[in-house]
Amino acid sequence: MTSICYRKADVDGLRVFYREAGPVGATALLLLHGFPSAGHMFRELIPALSDRFRVVAPDLPGFGQSDMPPRDRFSYTFARLAGVIERFTEVIGLARFAIYAFDYGAPTGFRLAVRHPERIVAIISQNGNAYEDGLSDGWNPVRAYWQDPSQANRNALRSFLAPATTIWQYTHGVSDTSHVSPDGYSLDNFYLARTGADEVQLDLFGDYKSNVAMYPDFQAYFRQWKPPLLAVWGKHDPFFLPAGAEAFKRDIPGAEVRFLDTGHFALETHCGEIAAMIRGFLPKCG
């Protein structure tokens, strides 16, 4: 049995909770979660990989068990999240590592790669977008807030934080929803219900436009450095379209792209398949 450790790292005064397993000297894989989840979304993937890799799954600030500082003391932007995770990797001693980038984890991880390309061994993008081709019409309410950050447009996004919406994100596009454990979305809804969490998430919705603005920078990094990249995509994702996965090949012709018959939270239904793909992919990366 694989032993998983649950720890908190002091990152310049901010406590970042993380899960870690696997041999310290093995290839490191940094698992970066998305909205509205936390490192617990990797609860099945970690033991499936940790016999061979050092697997580390932090909770982003404001998510899960990591600190959620007040908004007047911490700016909830993706640049700030990436800065904390960059320092986190330094604090726990990750010098070179692969990234598993999912949803919000993609712009967080891609920022790390742009800043320190020499540290990145490989990228696994699981519904982690870096191209406008991949943005569906599901982003239209958020785009409206980017264009007009009024209180009315901000309030219109609160439906994305509703418990029923979280469940829908997990189950949309899944052929048999009995295969989706309630554990994940129930824990996500617990964290979303905390005092102040709604405003944190609305801040991040507003700042997501900074990620789209950085797509050319991410793509330039892909073209220049051509990191080994595996795109694993739930093809029924209502937010990130399959075209976003195929687009990686424009900048990294050798990118591997695989589609799964599921939705956004592909690990909930296809963890075994994704783990097998990673086990076949990472050993080929330097």
What positions carry a catalytic annotation? Answer: 264
Q: Which residue has the tokens 């029923």?
A: 164
Length of the chain in terms of residues written: 286
CA gap 222, 227 in Å, rounded? 7
**Who's near 190: CB < 8 A, 6+ residues apart?**
none
Bond prior to 61 in cis (omega within 30° of 0): no
User: Which own/partner contact pairs does 74-77 have at CB distance under 8 Å and 24+ positions apart?
Assistant: 74/14, 76/200, 76/203, 76/204, 76/207, 77/203, 77/204, 77/207, 77/210
DSSP label of 27? P
> Do residues 273 and 133 make contact, with C-beta atoms less than 8 angstroms apart?
no
Geometric angle at alpha carbon 215, from 209 and 220, rounded to 5°: 155
